[in-house]
Amino acid sequence: MDRRKFLTTAAVGTAAAPLATPAIAQDVQQWKMVTAWPKNLPGPGVAAQMLADRITTLSGGRIEVKLFAAGELVPGRGVFDAVSEGTAELYHAVPAYWGSKSKGILLFGSQPFGLRADEQVGWLYHGGGQELYDEMYGQFGIKPFLCGNSGPQWGGWFRNEINSVEDLKGLKFRTTGLASEMCAKLGMAAEAMGGPDMFQALQTGALDAGEFIGPWTDSALGYQQVAKNYYWPGVGEPSSAEECGVNAEVFGALPDDLKEAVSVACESLYNPVWTEYTTKHAASLKKLVEEDGVQVRKFPQEVIDAMGEAAKEVIAELREDDDALVKRITESFVAYRDSIGAYMTYADNGQMNARAAVMGY
């Protein structure tokens, strides 16, 4: 797939005037969806369009959602503010991008050595996470929903091999969310940037390495052209939830049936998006290795252990945060992680280890 199809300008788009209420014509509401992604980027860009279409369909056409990719209306990292301020009705992005708002937000997207995709949505639905999610985002005038997940992300693309913890020190590395804090504790220079920008930075040497999502999305952006060492496991993001944020005032003004249409549209896409990522990651990895000469490498155990210790420090600091809400979110996350993790020793982990021992995978 030609990576150039997905490269869009990172320049700031011209913001539309704030919306007092959504435009209505013949009882049809016209909603703007702003996204953090290039249009139709395999993975998140595709998922964003699926969500826009599904809301339109499930609302019976009473809400028409028009998608604006990153840079078309606002820059990708500006979508949260655009919806909070009323410039657009909703966005599609990931919680990992909003740590500057509150570190508590980051736990709703991914956590180093944290929750898998099924566990993440389990925490929200059955472990009290959604109520905390609503409380946190409500401070910014946004109603949040999970609407997909990438599944396990990868350790990243490295220009040079990693043989020890010492090799990480001073490494200029693209990542995001709590993984950035984990990497910083290992002496890495963690940098946040968009997927297309990461390609350019790897190509010029401005970055030594970086992670984005996984084989399907990463190969579309062409990272295999500029870095051949592809590392696993991606312990920084055992999963990465995608979210839809809706302007809370606009959402609150909807009749109950349209509120349900928006909610169901988001919830109903979680598994289809997650399983599409998993299926296409598998096919894309095979092609990367067999046709593109990518070297799949496992981080040395000492590196994984060091990352684990750093991740424990990150969570410990969140548990002592000055913000009481951040502390409550963290305690809820830790309680669910520990409970579900203990069970998975016998359930999914046990099954996967047994299969690997017998089948070799």
The annotation status of 243 as a binding-site residue, yes or no, is: no
Length of the chain: 361
SS3 (DSSP) at 25: strand
Beta carbons of 238 and 94 less than 8 angstroms apart: no
In angstroms, the CA 56 to CA 59 distance is 5
Write the CB contacts of 331 (distance below 8 Å, at least 6 apart in sequence).
Answer: 319
Quote the tokens at residue 206. 């401005």
- Give the tokens for residue 65: 């959602």
Q: How many CB atoms lie within 10 A of CB 326?
A: 21
Q: In sequence order, which residues have a C-beta less than 8 Å from that of residue 261 and are 6 or more positions away? A: 55, 58, 59, 60, 63
Contact 319, 338 (CB under 8 A): no
Residue 291 is labelled as binding a ligand:
no
DSSP state of 299: P
Confirm or deny that 116 is annotated as ligand binding: no
159 appears as a binding residue in the annotation: no
Q: Is 211 within any annotated ligand binding site?
A: yes
Binding residues for Na(+): 212
Binding residues for substrate: 153, 174, 211, 237
Binding residues: 153, 174, 211-212, 237
